Amino acid sequence: MDTINTSTVMNENRLAGILLIVGALITIVTILFEYKIGWIGVDRTRSETPQFLLENWNRMKFIWSWQTFGYFISTLAYFVFFKNSQGILSLFWSILILCECLKVVAMCLTLGSYQPALEVFSSNPEVFNTIGGGIRTLYATAQLGGLFLMVVFIIETFKKNGVVHKWMGITILAFVLIAIGIGVATTIPVKVTGTSSFLIPIVLGLGYLKNKN
């Protein structure tokens, strides 16, 4: 019975590893498209943002729809990992579920409310500003999940029989920190250099996918 349960957990974690990789890859692609159309990487005042969104709403809606789907896929992965985890990892996975759900909610609110608010912006800007402020706060809170995922990655790198090879984990962590540092120190948008942080869920997912313990 124990052997059957262990095999089931391994198979479920492998599936979750695949979901983690897919969710991260989808999100990376959407961020690159955000950069391509000028949503990120362009100096723009907050007062200019509504006009940009109104002019590019169809493309932004398409990109953000896929981004929402990527977050949803990641949420499913976190649920599986939570189900099969114990101790401190169980706590971290539960926090990650909450943060990722907040992202999904924030994106759904964006997709559902931005267009009508933008259409009346010229006559009633308070509607968009209020909605946008609430969504930004929600999304900023959800972004804390990245820190907890990094903690999980560190645990799986340094613990005995962790799913991430020690030197691979150290290399990835160093690369991510350097890339983010470059974004902070140069004119390259942090959101662009920050895409390097998606190596963490990708490598972690590969670790669970290949894990035989």
Q: How confident is the model over 157-166, as pLDDT tens digits?
A: 999 889 999 9
Can you give 119-146 as a three-state secondary structure string?
HCCCCCHHHHHHHHHHHHHHHHHHCCHH
Distance CA 129, CA 120 (A): 11
Average pLDDT over residues 122-145: 93
What predicted TM-score, i.e. pTM, was given to this entire model? 0.91
Length of the chain, in residues: 213
Backbone angles phi, psi at 159, to 5 degrees: -75, 160
pLDDT of residue 3: 52
Q: How confident is the model over 23-54, as pLDDT tens digits?
A: 999 999 999 999 899 998 787 888 889 999 99
Helix (H, G, I), strand (E, B) or coil at 143: coil
Instruction: Return the higher-pLDDT residue of 48 and 107.
Output: 107
Q: How confident is the model over 164-194, as pLDDT tens digits?
A: 999 999 999 999 999 888 877 877 777 778 7
pLDDT of residue 62: 97
Expressed in percent and rounded to 5, the helix, strand and coil fractions of the chain are: 85, 0, 15
Instruction: Return the higher-pLDDT residue of 23 and 123.
Output: 23
Helix (H, G, I), strand (E, B) or coil at 182: helix
Helix (H, G, I), strand (E, B) or coil at 152: helix
Average pLDDT over residues 73-78: 97
